[in-house]
Structure 1
Amino acid sequence: MNRRTLLSTIGAGVVAVSGCLDNRTAGTTTPLQPGDIDFPDGPKERPERPSPVSENTVREYVKRHEYRYVYNSLWIDEHTDVIVDCRVDSVEQRQWGYEAVVTCTGYAESQENPTATIAHADWFTQSYRYRVSENTTQRLEAKNRDPVS
C-alpha cells in the first residue's frame, strides 16, 4: 500500500470515529420506532395515546391501556363477569418519552344460565413495562411486582 492510500485510509477512519464520538457526546438519542401494540378483541376499545405526553397523562394512559388489555383478554362473551384491578408502579421520563410499569390482577367468570357450567379464567399478577412517546406505545414484559390489593 502506498503512502497516499495509507494516509487516506487512516484519515477516513479518524473522521468516522470522531463523528461517532460527536454524536455520542452531543446527547443525540434514537427515538422509539413508531408503532402500537396488538390489542385483543373484546368490548373495550384501545385508549387514545396521550397528547401532550407528560408524567400524569402517561400514568393515566398506561393504567387504562393495561386494564382494557387484560379485560379483553379475559372476556369470553356477553355473559362474562370480568374483574380487573391495576396499579401504576412507576413512571420515569426518558430521552425519547416515558417508561412506566403497570401491574394487574384479575379474573373472569361466565355463566349463560343457572344450569350451565361456569367458565373461569384467572389473570394472575402480571407486570408490564410500557414505553410511550408522541407516536409510539410499546408493551414489554417486566419482572412481576407484588399482587394488586
Structure 2
Amino acid sequence: MSTKTPRSRGAGRLSVAVALGTVAAGLTLALTLPTSSAQSRPVPPGTAEQQPGTAQQQQPAPHVMDFAHGLNAPAKQQPPQTAGTPVAVTADGCDHAYGDINVCVPWTFPAAAGTAPGAGCRWLLAHGYPPLAVHGRDRLGLDTNHDGTACDHGDAGAGG
C-alpha cells in the first residue's frame, strides 16, 4: 500500500509540468536570440559581401508571359456612323443667334409684347435681359442700328 497522500501525488505532477515548461522556455529563448555568426543574419539585397568559398546568389530573370504576341483576330468593326436625327432649329423655342449659348431669346414674343418697332427689345429689357451680341442673322430685328449688339443704346425700344 502506498503511503503517499493525494496531495503529494499532485505535487509530483506539478514538478513535471514545471520542468517541461522550463525546458520549453529555454528552447524558445535559444531559438530567438541573435547569434554572433555572420551567416545567420539576414543581409539586405545588393549589400551582401561574397564570403570566400560561397557562391553569389543571382536574382532570377522575370518570366514574361508571351501568349499575347500572336493574336491574329481581326479588330472589331465599328458600325457605320449615321447623320443623326435632324432637330429643328426652333425645337427649344429659343433663337440662339443672340447672346451667349445659355441665353434663350424667344423665337416668337408673347402677344402682350406687341408688334410695334422695338417691342421685342422692350420686352427683353423688362424681363432682365442685358444687351445681346448678335451672332449671324438678326432674324427678330432687334439690332436696328446694326452695330452687332441687340437692344443696346441706339436700338429701337432700348431707349437712348
TM-score, normalised on structure 1?
A: 0.21
Largest Rg, 1 or 2? 2
Relative to the length of structure 2, the TM-score reads 0.20
Q: Specify which structure has the bigger relative contact order, considering alpha-carbon pairs within 8 angstroms and separated by 6 or more residues.
A: 1
